[in-house]
Amino acid sequence: MRVHVPSLLGAVIGAAIAAAGVALLWYGFHVGYPRFFVLPSVLVFGFGAKLAYQLASESFVGDSEPPTRRRGTAGAGDEGDDSGFREWQELWNDRKDALTRILGEPEDGVFTAIVPFYLGGTADVLEFRNHIKGVVYVTGDLIGDDRQKQNELGNYELMICHREANDWGPGIISKLAKYTLDAALRPWETMDIAPAVPEGSTIAGFLFAPYKRFAVRDWPCGLLLCVGITEDELDACKAGRRKEVVKRLKEVHVLPYTDLERDSVLA
């Protein structure tokens, strides 16, 4: 028997949320405002209990034979209680091997989502320090997931580069991974991200650049680089001046990095 730590942690958090719902309901009755507290208490309890129930079943897996390796949504196996986890693990290893051939050996640690991606959470993120001078972060859950809306690269993982390690980069691409299940992010398109940047940052958007095409299990796929751009650079891209912006980003050695606090290359 083995423990899947992210799922176990998520189950514990779910149980804590459910307990908070019970405590909120008790408090409502204690202070004499039951009607006001009943609905939110029930909603909090229901959400926490459902989360705990779903993830508890994923927390412990046995040692039966692995399922047939196939393309599909990670975690959607139907060959026993642990088939989903085993398929997820095999696909994760295949993705990681392909990324290692491109970006070098990843760091031992992984930015792990509390709720697994295949259960509706955000994506896990790998960290690479042997590819460029700086740090490269790449999502590790998208290739092989049929829910993703593919672009010209096929299935794709999201990538962001920083000159120094930080938590914002892996955090933003982990969350953005969920968006790719609803809409394709296409090379050379832009996205307004001003509400999601750290306080004091001059970055207002992402410019998506195709970084590398490769294959996993003979599936065509790729890396889509997220490059942070300032508000006037974003406006210029929207006005049809994207090639000018890209040229300037290269000339001043911003590409492939996302520098959260920098002057516009168009100034």
Looking at the structure, tell me whether residues 231 and 126 fall in a common domain: yes
pLDDT tens profile 236-252: 999 999 999 999 999 99
What pLDDT was estimated at residue 71? Answer: 33
Q: How confident is the model at residue 66 (pLDDT cuts 50, 70, 90)?
A: very low
For 129, residues 6+ apart whose C-beta sits below 8 A from its C-beta are: 104, 107, 135, 136
87 belongs to a structural domain: no
**HSE toward the beta carbon, residue 198, CA cutoff 13 A:** 12
What pLDDT was estimated at residue 23? Answer: 73
Geometric angle at alpha carbon 109, from 105 and 113, rounded to 5°: 120
**Overall number of domains in the chain:** 2
85 belongs to a structural domain: no
74 belongs to a structural domain: no
Instruction: Give the domain range for residue 21.
Output: 2-61
Helices (H), the chain: 5-31, 34-59, 83-103, 168-179, 231-238, 242-251
Q: How confident is the model at residue 132 (pLDDT cuts 50, 70, 90)?
A: very high
Query: Is residue 69 over pLDDT 50?
Result: no
Distances (CA, A) of 226 to 86, 87, 136, 187, 205: 31, 28, 11, 10, 9
139 belongs to a structural domain: yes
174 belongs to a structural domain: yes
Average pLDDT, stretch 142-155?
95
Looking at the structure, tell me whether residues 241 and 109 fall in a common domain: yes
Looking at the structure, tell me whether residues 57 and 150 fall in a common domain: no
Looking at the structure, tell me whether residues 24 and 120 fall in a common domain: no
* Burial of 60 (C-beta count, 10 Å sphere; 0-12/13-18/19+): middle
Distance (Å, rounded) from C-alpha 117 to C-alpha 140?
10
What pLDDT was estimated at residue 61? Answer: 37
Looking at the structure, tell me whether residues 213 and 120 fall in a common domain: yes
Inter-residue contact 41 to 21 (CB < 8 Å) = yes
Looking at the structure, tell me whether residues 42 and 122 fall in a common domain: no
For 255, residues 6+ apart whose C-beta sits below 8 A from its C-beta are: 209, 227, 246, 249
**HSE toward the beta carbon, residue 183, CA cutoff 13 A:** 6
Looking at the structure, tell me whether residues 48 and 121 fall in a common domain: no
What pLDDT was estimated at residue 33? Answer: 57
79 belongs to a structural domain: no
Looking at the structure, tell me whether residues 16 and 121 fall in a common domain: no
Average pLDDT score, the chain: 82
pLDDT tens profile 134-146: 999 999 999 999 9
pTM greater than the 0.75 cutoff: no
What pLDDT was estimated at residue 34? Answer: 58
- Eight-class DSSP state of 72: S
